[in-house]
Structure 1
Amino acid sequence: MSLRCRHCQLLGVLLAVLFHPSTANSSEVADPTVMIVMLIRNKEPFLPYTLTQLGELDYPKERLTLWLRSDHNEDATPRIVNRWLEEFSHLYHDVDAAVDTTSPRLRSDETGPTHHSDSRYAAVIEMKEEALLKARELKVDFVWFLDADVLLYDKAILRTLIKMEKPLVAPMLVSTERFSNFWAGMDDSFYYRRTERYSDIYEREEKGCFDVPMIHSCVLVDLREHLTKSLTFVKEKLQSPVGPSLDDVITFAISAQQTLLAMHVCNQEEYGQVPVPLEESDDLILDWVNLAEMKVKALTIVPHLPVTDALEPFLPPPLEKSTLGFDHIYIISLERRQARRKRATTLFNELGIDADIINAFDGRKLNESYMLRHNITMLSGYRDPILKRPLTYGEVGCFLSHHSIWTDIVRNDYRRAIVFEDDAHPPLDFERKLTEAVDELDRLHPDWDLLYLYRETHFLKDGEDTSEPVQGSERLMRPGYSYSGMAYALSWSGALKLVREKPLQKMVPVDELLPIMYGQHPNKHWNRQFSGSGSMKAFAIHPRILEPYVYRRAGAITDTDGSEVVKLWENELEEQSCSADPALQEACQ
């Protein structure tokens, strides 16, 4: 065969490889290999969630190697880990797991399960160093040191970290007490130094990836970077052995500094949480409290925290539900907003609150014929104070939903009830704070009608909030003009006053009607059209005891604001001239 023919053959083979379906598409290039390192001790509360999130990572398991170690446990940690391994270990490229079920509850120099003694630090250092050396031996692309109590929100977190293209990177994790998995300052002795930069990063005043002196708890190391060969957890292996003798995270950070490798923490998104560390004298039971707080906080970001079927038997029994001393609790929720409903249901179950989901009137299903058929009319002269428009179908649906609850309270003779919209997010201590406030209210003003659990005043200028403290109270105020119907309590008399006003024939948003009825609405023209204006005895808990779900805090368009304007009423407004009707001039301003 001639040289020229051989060249033609080689060119044909090359073209076949380049354009073969399995290789032409760059998206099919194999994902980098990753070894995940997890040291697990006494993490029973967290493991059903953290092992589930490990199994649900959006990453091919055949590219993952697991390196797990667990010993000196006094809870169900070994049983949980072994059960998960039985169910899922075969899916991974390789699993190196050692779960010691015979080691004593404590090491010889430990005073308790949360005591970080010298021998405990030494053991952690030894295991992490062993894992790092194993990752290098296996020639994996990345090694990911992940604590067993870290809650991560996004299944794609590993891909996200890899795409950061940093040799040492961690997602910023928050906690219930401003503790995180990074330091923004380190002193000359290599210990934590408080800095303003920490708050800027933690509060996400700045967003991005930041060069910091320390990251821990969830650290991805790119072993393809040749400088990472000098990283170590062992002080004696440092290029210059400085720092504390027994501290894995500080030694690792020093080794990065000496190798001229920057550590980065990234806060572009809400990535997850890390628990507040327990003190030496703390009981392990506090981790159940830690987890409960973390789960409630997580539900401001994600609709639920999944647990795989295999680990559900290790969950504690659900809390016994109560109505918190009220006759009934309602949650208004659009049927088509299933993710939002699921989040609310999960949260209230987590808090042990017995609440009734009420299908909201959906503005998308309302029309002008419905308004005419049910004799629903807008308040004369109403227009949105900011957008200068009539009511939207979403606002009408919202009002009808609240009105149906007021009617239900009166019909069932409920002495008192709570009304939530499904974006309300009570915290873990909600019941205690509510009980304290209501006890105070019953003692001082037992004839109350309305109690705001949350009210918005951010739109008011300085000096415009006319709220006043309630004499003899530490938790209550008499509210000035407020704008919110997200969470409030009503007595039977309060609900009756609202229903008797026949507000469907002079409709305004719920948020506007409430201050009209307790006499604090600034629009006198609107007030004059309600015979019961000023009749409701209203109070507000201060400071407020819950916050809205994150979608509202982020300034997203709500189902009420973003829906279609009722054209029938828009035409009526066009026919009414502010200049021609002096009675409407105030309403039009």
Structure 2
Amino acid sequence: MHSDVPILLINLDRSKQRLQSATEQLNQWRLPFTRISAVDGKSLDENTVKRVFDEDNARCRYPYDLTIGEIGCYLSHVKCWQYIVDHKLDFAVILEDDLCLNADTPKVLDQLRKITTEWDYIKLASPYKFRPYHIVEQLTQSNPTISLVRYRQKIPSGTVAQVISYRGAQRLLQQRPPFFRPIDVDIQWQHELTLDTFGLLPYIADNADAPSEIQQLATRKALKQRRWVKLKELLRFKLKI
């Protein structure tokens, strides 16, 4: 394992148990990390929300009202992008604290500096739905076979584990905030954000069973849906307009 692979762990100050669980997992694989204090959606004032969240665009282009937890989650990832730029890191692994790492983690992360393809963003997890892909670069032939892949349509949702390059962080900070979609959905619109996005397989992480405190103070699917907006955006995505 390369000791110089930077790892940023997003964790709410009040989520002590999650920090302990994530720390134990990372320590198990001897992976040092930097804790990033997550933005607590409950503590955001109205002026801050208005500054970072584009409500008008959200109503036109996203079928659900964002929860305050999702806004806090997005801002937590923005802090990680800024950390990458401020510290002039080639890249950083960004993890959320509701993660379950697997035994492939050290071997997969060890390949990051060996990738020759230009990239901005690499998914390290696909916790919700399988997304078809094709192999771009075969990094190892041994068990496990580690491959850089490009997704055929959408990239996987969820932001429990990913890698972002310096260039990727710069591109994201130039465009966000303000934002109008949850962070995982926004990244799926990689053509809008001009990101070169890939996946690194096998995936190293999954979400823990408990709901994420960082991302959700309400369940997205339980919210009222703007059906016309959803249909319009599905068409826009397919046409890349």
The reply to whether TM is greater than 0.5 is yes
8 Å CA contact retained: 1:454, 1:545: yes
Q: Distance in 1 between matches of 2:88 and 2:232?
A: 39
Q: Label 1:439 to 1:416 Cα distance change in 2 as closer, same or farther (>3 A).
A: closer
Question: 1:410: how far off?
Answer: 1.1
- Please, which of 109, 133, 150 is the counterpart of residue 467 of structure 1? 133
Task: Note the 1:121-200 alignment, pairs <5 A.
Answer: none
- 1:331–1:357 Cα contact (<8 Å) kept: yes
How much has 1:339 moved relative to structure 2?
Answer: 0.9
Whether 1:513 and 2:186 are equivalent positions in the alignment is yes
| 1:561 aligns with one of 200, 216, 225 | 216
Is the contact between residue 381 and residue 588 of structure 1 (CA under 8 Å) also seen in structure 2? Answer: no
Larger RCO: Structure 1 or Structure 2 (Cα < 8 Å, ≥ 6 residues apart)? 2
Q: Deviations over 1:24-83 (max 9, x none)?
A: xxxxxxxxxxxxxxxxxxxxxxxxxxxxxxxxxxxxxxxxxxxxxxxxxxxxxxxxxxxx
Q: Which residue of 2 aligns with 1:485?
A: 159
CA distance in 2, matches of 1:383, 1:456: 28
TM-score normalized by structure 2? 0.79
- The equivalent position to 1:340 in structure 2, one of 18, 21, 25, is 18
- SS for the counterpart of 2:168 is helix
**Pick aligned residue for 2:74 from 386, 399, 404:** 399
Partner of 1:371: 49
Shift of 1:323: 6.4
Structure 1 equivalent of residue 177 of structure 2: 504
Measure, in 2, the Cα distance between the counterparts of 1:538 and 1:493: 12
For the residues of structure 2 that align with 1:453 and 1:399, how far apart are their CA atoms?
18
Which protein is bigger by CA-based radius of gyration?
A: 1
Number of aligned residue pairs: 224
2:57 matched to which residue of 1? 380
Partner Cα separation in structure 1 for residue 231 and residue 103 of structure 2: 47
Change (3 A) 1:329 1:348: same
Displacement after TM superposition at 1:384 (Å): 9.4
Uncovered stretches (5+) of structure 1, i.e. residues with no partner: 1-321, 520-529
- Superposition deviation, residue 417 in structure 1: 0.9
Q: Which amino acid aligns with 2:134?
A: E
Q: Name stretches of at least 5 consecutive residues in structure 2 with no aligned partner.
A: 140-145, 236-241
C-alpha separation between the residues in 2 aligned to 1:507 and 1:410? 23
Are 2:58 and 2:180, in contact at CA under 8 Å, matched by a contact in 1?
no
Task: Return the alpha-carbon distance in structure 2 between the equivalents of residues 561 and 516 of structure 1.
Answer: 21
Percent identity, aligned pairs only, is: 21
After superposition, where does 1:147-546 map in structure 2 within 5 Å?
324-326=3-5, 328-372=6-50, 374-378=51-55, 380-382=57-59, 388-436=63-111, 438-440=112-114, 442-443=115-116, 445=117, 447-458=118-129, 465-470=131-136, 472=138, 474-479=146-151, 480-481=153-154, 482-501=156-175, 503-517=176-190, 519=191, 530=192, 533=193, 535-546=194-205
Structure 1 CA distance, aligned partners of 2:83 and 2:182? 19
Q: Provide the C-alpha distance between the structure 2 equivalents of 1:378 and 1:508, rounded to a whole number of angstroms.
A: 10
Is the Cα contact below 8 Å between 1:383 and 1:587 reproduced in 2?
no
Partner of 2:143: none
Distance in 2 between residues matched to 1:500 and 1:514, nearest whole Å: 14
Aligned amino acid, residue 40 of structure 2: D
Contact kept? 1:449, 1:538, Cα under 8 Å = yes
Change (3 A) 1:490 1:324: farther
TM normalised by structure 1 equals 0.34
1:94-105 matches, within 5 Å, as none
1:413-447 CA distance string (max 9 Å, x none): 111111000122223442123213x255x23x1x2
Paired with 2:31 and 2:120, the residues of 1 have a C-alpha distance of 22
Determine which of 535, 540, 548 is the counterpart of 2:207. Answer: 548
Question: How far apart, in 1, do the equivalents of 2:137 and 2:18 lie?
Answer: 39
The alignment's C-alpha RMSD in Å is: 3.2
Distance 1:487 1:410 in 2: 19
Q: What CA distance in whole angstroms lies between the structure 2 residues aligned with 1:339 and 1:472?
A: 38
